[in-house]
Chain A
Amino acid sequence: MFRAILVMGYAPAPKSAPKSALQSASQSIPHPTPQSAHTPTSLNGKSKAAEDVFDVTVIGAGVTGCFIAKELSKYDLKVLVVDKEPTVAMGPTKGCSGVIHAFQLPFGSLKGRLCLEGNRLMDEEAKELGFRFERVGLILVCKSIFSSLIARIVKPYFSRHLDVEYLDEKKIRELEPNVDAKGGLFFPSAGVVNPVEMTFKAKRFAELNGVEFRFERKVVGINPDQDFELILDAGKNRERVHSRFVINCAGLYADEIAAMVGCGLKIVPSKGSHVVFEDRGFSSHLMAIFPLIPERRTKGGGSLVTIDGNLIWGPNLVDAKSKEDRSVKKEEVEGIIRKHSRIFKRRPEKVASVYAGVRAIAGRDFVINSPIENFINVAGIQSPGLTAAPAIARMVLGMLTDAFEKSGLKLKRKREIKLGSSWKETRSKRGEVICHCRMVFEDGIRRTIAEGGRTLDDIKHLTGAGMECGRCLPAIVEIMEKNGLPLRKDTCKSFIAWKVGGD
């Protein structure tokens, strides 16, 4: 049903299309007029199939790209999302700490504003998309009387923008008995999510409402013509798609995409490592030492909790060797533990795992602009990008609306918007227990596959299966294979093995 709606996007129509034409586009029957702009001709004169013509193409299926796609899916638009990876959230999104920040300094910056707005929108988004979100609160811990004095002085500065409370020594002890502090600032609006789940649910919503996702397609060229022609490298062959608007959410590779349309942009990869502890319930708040150690590009990390209750310390900030450098060095782990041990009286015991993510940094702030007509950069989405994603999506929608209006068109909201299934359903308790550590049933894994989980990492991050002792991973691999996700010989990220005889 929604497939029909999707084919009816109007945008490839000439710029002078009358308004009545777009209104008719939202009717239930498409009108394939022969000279319709659905079949533009490319440079070599061959006519293009209608399925390769889009109103908007989003490059990159990270949290930003998926939230933009989700927002656009509410409108009568034909939207395509392309990504070079086999699934969503494979870049900076996956490597982030999952924190929904309460604020970002300076308040006046673009990221500062979008962070506050994104944080406000998060409850609504979590409900609409069905991802888990918990406002656990952030405590900025003051270790000395002096810093607690500063905290009280700067509190009014924060309270102009958001809720903040000063905690004295006793109150902190009540909230976090293991913390040794003289005072602190408490920000109740800070929260945590599972970034992969959040992105996956946005993608699911967008998909249900007609957005097309094409994975393992690397954009290798963009020809700006009457509309944009994108050349996609799909491994064996090349695809050409036409799009009236292009949104560059390519994360670490946003500079390469921008260069294709002749726009200068520099992305510096910057690595952040995390240490995950086995201890659950060690602390229940996000915590960092006040005053925040001023670093130009990061807030300096802290002692965090995950949505599943694990303790996680980090991230640090190290210049990455390359955009794919997700290695964690021994010295980094020791450094992180040394830094954050200061917060607590008793240290957590066992390190369960370590991981690193790479931030895409383009200067001090987010870069959201339109350097050439109908091309929007959403680049340099560093921290607090996860928090800001819903706000960024609305901002981009606003920019698109303006661009449409310039051409005398109007974006039209779909009459019916489909909602995705909620997380609870995904965690169905039928079938055999596959993962004992996180109590994941076979049915939960099958359902995640049915909802679009494509790789072993998808299954791990979305169901939690195999995240702890890892003993059940071979069983998950087998379930995936039974459910139409054969392992492939190529070594792409989470494809860890292949079937004998399959090569």
Chain B
Amino acid sequence: MISLKIETEVLVIGGGYSGILLSNVLLDRGFDVLIADSSMESEMDVFSRLKVVKSYYDRFIEEYRETRAQLETRILKATITRTVRIGCEGQRENEGGNERAERWDVEGVHLGVNYKITAERVFTCTGCYDKRFFPCGIFGSRAAGIFSIQNALSLISRGYRIGRNVLLLGMSKVQERIFEIVEEMLGEFDYGCEFVVGNVAEVLGRERVEAVIVDGMKFPCDTLIYFCGREEFNPFKLGGCKVGNINARTYDYEKVRKDVLKLDLRHATLDSQ
């Protein structure tokens, strides 16, 4: 395998909405930024392929696309698999405040090339994923036709059909606008759709979902789309300062945006490892 060594001042892991927005902020502050983007598709790409969803997220998609185009030269195609903090090298002056300096050794891989990256700062913007059905309180049969919103959107945006009559199940503690959006989007694609809020659900069906019992009420359907919140997507347990949807864990990108913009470098914690 080929091995490449790269040095950068700041490494941003993740080239999705948060990573791109953050990189832009850092560049404006005069940092030398490298963005490591894996092969995984950004959520913005999925949204932009679905007309209805796109109309809701237009502002963010535009912002993401424009900024990404400007930063194209700074994007490195690589999946980061390991981050190791080597240590602090003392104090450094920055914009009048004292800022702690650190050093990171980072490993990545892409198409047979191993990358060894040294950076002074690492930001982790790997986003989040929808909780799987069990932690959501969905029991019963594991028949085909059970999707998280994330996978449903991704499959439909790739031109697949995931059923005919959808039960959209929201867990009562989660209140997000995404249900509305998904409901409207499903209508556009000619799905029958019913939206239910509940606490515990049991799926019935041998091979395909046939019905779902939500808090004692039975709803016949052939597809279940559920959502009960999202979780940090960080399978390699990367260190670095977590920014964006990895913190916000939501479909509400206004919150994600706020999380990125509130970042103050002086408070960017080092102990997130």
Using a CB–CB cutoff of 8 Å, the interface residues on chain A facing chain B are 324-330, 333, 350-355, 429-434, 436-437, 439, 468-475, 477-478, 487, 491-500, 503
Residue from the set A429, A475, A494, A496 with the largest chain B CB neighbour count within 10 Å: A496
Other-chain contact of B207, A353, A434, A493 (Cβ < 8 Å): A493
Min distance, Cβ A106 to any Cβ of chain B, angstroms? 35
Min distance, Cβ B37 to any Cβ of chain A, angstroms? 11
Bound complex: CA A324 to CA B144 (Å): 13
Min distance, Cβ A47 to any Cβ of chain B, angstroms? 38
Task: Show 18 residue pairs from A and B whose CB-CB distance is below 8 angstroms, ordered by the A residue.
Answer: A324-B206, A326-B142, A432-B110, A433-B38, A436-B40, A436-B235, A436-B236, A469-B233, A470-B132, A470-B151, A471-B150, A474-B151, A474-B154, A493-B144, A495-B144, A496-B144, A498-B161, A500-B161
Chain B residues, Cβ within 8 Å of A498: 160-161
Other-chain contact of A497, B110, B112, B142, B161 (Cβ < 8 Å): B161
Bound complex: CA A439 to CA B107 (Å): 14
B109 at the binding interface (Cβ < 8 Å): yes
Min distance, Cβ B185 to any Cβ of chain A, angstroms? 14
B160 & A487 in contact (Cβ 8 Å cutoff): yes
B219 at the binding interface (Cβ < 8 Å): no
Bound complex: CA A492 to CA B231 (Å): 30
B159 at the binding interface (Cβ < 8 Å): yes
Q: Which residue of A lies closest to B140 (CB)?
A: A327
B174 at the binding interface (Cβ < 8 Å): no
Chain B residues, Cβ within 8 Å of A503: 161
Please report which residues of chain B, range 116-133, place their CB below 8 angstroms from some CB of chain A when the two chains form the complex.
129-130, 132
B255 at the binding interface (Cβ < 8 Å): no
B134 & A500 in contact (Cβ 8 Å cutoff): no
Q: Which residue of A lies closest to B222 (CB)?
A: A491
Bound complex: CA A498 to CA B112 (Å): 33
Chain A residues, Cβ within 8 Å of B233: 436, 469, 471
Q: Which residue of A lies closest to B127 (CB)?
A: A471
A329 & B139 in contact (Cβ 8 Å cutoff): yes
Q: Which residue of A lies closest to B46 (CB)?
A: A474
Q: Which residue of B lies closest to A501 (CB)?
A: B159
A354 & B41 in contact (Cβ 8 Å cutoff): no
Chain B residues, Cβ within 8 Å of A468: 235
Chain B residues, Cβ within 8 Å of A496: 144-145, 147, 155, 162
Q: Which residue of A lies closest to B206 (CB)?
A: A324
Please report which residues of chain B, range 209-261, place their CB below 8 angstroms from some CB of chain A when the two chains form the complex.
222, 231, 233, 235-236
Q: Is the interface of A mostly helix, strand, loop or mixed?
A: loop
Chain B residues, Cβ within 8 Å of A497: 155, 160-163
B21 at the binding interface (Cβ < 8 Å): no
Using a Cβ–Cβ cut-off of 8 Å, how many residues does chain B contribute to the interface with A? 45
B151 & A436 in contact (Cβ 8 Å cutoff): no
Known: A469-B129, A491-B207, A491-B208. A437 touches B135 (CB 8 A): no
B83 at the binding interface (Cβ < 8 Å): no
Min distance, Cβ B164 to any Cβ of chain A, angstroms? 10
Min distance, Cβ B157 to any Cβ of chain A, angstroms? 8
Bound complex: CA A471 to CA B110 (Å): 19
A434 & B141 in contact (Cβ 8 Å cutoff): no
Bound complex: CA A492 to CA B144 (Å): 8
B81 at the binding interface (Cβ < 8 Å): yes
Q: Closest 8 CB pairs between A and B? A: A491-B208, A432-B39, A474-B154, A437-B235, A497-B160, A327-B141, A433-B79, A471-B129
Using a CB–CB cutoff of 8 Å, the interface residues on chain B facing chain A are 38-41, 79, 81, 109-112, 129-130, 132, 134-135, 139-142, 144-145, 147-148, 150-151, 154-155, 158-163, 200, 202-204, 206-208, 222, 231, 233, 235-236
Bound complex: CA A136 to CA B155 (Å): 39
Chain A residues, Cβ within 8 Å of B147: 496
Chain B residues, Cβ within 8 Å of A351: 134-135
Q: Which residue of A lies closest to B108 (CB)?
A: A433
Bound complex: CA A472 to CA B155 (Å): 11
Bound complex: CA A268 to CA B225 (Å): 34
Q: Which residue of A lies closest to B131 (CB)?
A: A469
Bound complex: CA A78 to CA B215 (Å): 55
Known: A469-B132, A470-B151. A328 touches B140 (CB 8 A): yes
A329 & B140 in contact (Cβ 8 Å cutoff): yes
Known: A470-B151, A474-B154, A492-B207. A430 touches B112 (CB 8 A): yes
Bound complex: CA A430 to CA B39 (Å): 13
Bound complex: CA A474 to CA B39 (Å): 13
Chain B residues, Cβ within 8 Å of A471: 40, 129-130, 150-151, 233
Bound complex: CA A431 to CA B142 (Å): 31
| Supplied contacts A433-B79, A499-B161, 13 more A-B pairs, CB within 8 Å | A324-B207, A327-B203, A330-B200, A354-B139, A433-B39, A434-B39, A436-B233, A470-B151, A471-B151, A478-B158, A497-B163, A498-B161, A499-B159
B135 & A326 in contact (Cβ 8 Å cutoff): no
Chain B residues, Cβ within 8 Å of A328: 139-140, 142
Chain A residues, Cβ within 8 Å of B112: 429-430
A436 & B38 in contact (Cβ 8 Å cutoff): yes
Bound complex: CA A493 to CA B143 (Å): 7
Known: A434-B39, A493-B207, A499-B159. A352 touches B132 (CB 8 A): yes
Bound complex: CA A473 to CA B152 (Å): 10
Min distance, Cβ A222 to any Cβ of chain B, angstroms? 25
Q: Which residue of B lies closest to A442 (CB)?
A: B39
A500 & B235 in contact (Cβ 8 Å cutoff): no
Q: Which residue of A lies closest to B109 (CB)?
A: A433
Bound complex: CA A498 to CA B159 (Å): 9
A326 & B150 in contact (Cβ 8 Å cutoff): no
Bound complex: CA A466 to CA B176 (Å): 26
A500 & B41 in contact (Cβ 8 Å cutoff): no
Q: Which residue of A lies closest to B135 (CB)?
A: A351
Q: Which residue of B lies closest to A498 (CB)?
A: B161
Bound complex: CA A181 to CA B128 (Å): 40
Chain B residues, Cβ within 8 Å of A470: 129, 132, 148, 151
Min distance, Cβ A117 to any Cβ of chain B, angstroms? 34
Chain B residues, Cβ within 8 Å of A437: 235
B160 & A500 in contact (Cβ 8 Å cutoff): yes
Bound complex: CA A231 to CA B231 (Å): 51
Min distance, Cβ A34 to any Cβ of chain B, angstroms? 47
Chain A residues, Cβ within 8 Å of B207: 324, 491-493
Q: Which residue of B lies closest to A324 (CB)?
A: B206
Chain B residues, Cβ within 8 Å of A499: 159-161
Bound complex: CA A434 to CA B235 (Å): 13
Min distance, Cβ A452 to any Cβ of chain B, angstroms? 21
Chain B residues, Cβ within 8 Å of A495: 144
Min distance, Cβ A330 to any Cβ of chain B, angstroms? 5
Chain A residues, Cβ within 8 Å of B145: 491, 496
